[in-house]
Amino acid sequence: MNEDMLFTIFEKARKNTLGAAKKIAEKNPTIVDVIPEGFNNNIRWNLGHIAAICDQLMNFPAGEKPLLPKPFNQSFSNGTSPKDWNDETPTYDDIVQALEAQPQQLKERYAGKLSDPLPKPFSLVGIDFQTVGDLLVFVTYHEGMHQGTIGALQKVAK
């Protein structure tokens, strides 16, 4: 496993996510909270979900504490909905800031450790994760999936 390449691919995916987020905020900021017909969530939820799942999956299975404040998990974890948001739900700017900070935070925490085995076995969606690097590959894949959803939402949200 080439650690530098894994971090580079993750950073590239994140750069694309942030580019889309900033472009949306500049060109049509009113659509970030629109839930179009046929969708369960909106652009802000998808961006917050990327940040929350990255934080959860890179830290809990590796035996580390999460870095994001609790409202991220409460608002953007699996099974959550914008319909349940409250005053503590992170703003669009909060989410963008978290997304910007994560690549460096992950490098600081896990550089030289991507090949390290997880403290205990961890499985998700039928995948058995063995190392911290396995988790980084998955969160990069997960981010790409939600980039596609954000693109679809951007096209149909008005």
Q: What angle do CA 101, 156, 146 make, to 5 degrees?
A: 35
Residues 6+ apart with CB under 8 A from 19: none
Tokens read off for 101: 């900070």
| pTM score of the predicted model | 0.96
Model pLDDT for residues 24-42, shown as the tens digit of each residue? 999 999 999 999 999 999 9
* CATH code, domain carrying 133: 1.20.120.450
Model pLDDT for residues 68-110, shown as the tens digit of each residue? 999 999 999 999 999 999 999 999 999 999 999 999 999 999 9
Number of domains within the chain: 1
Residues 6+ apart with CB under 8 A from 141: none
Domain span at 88: 3-156
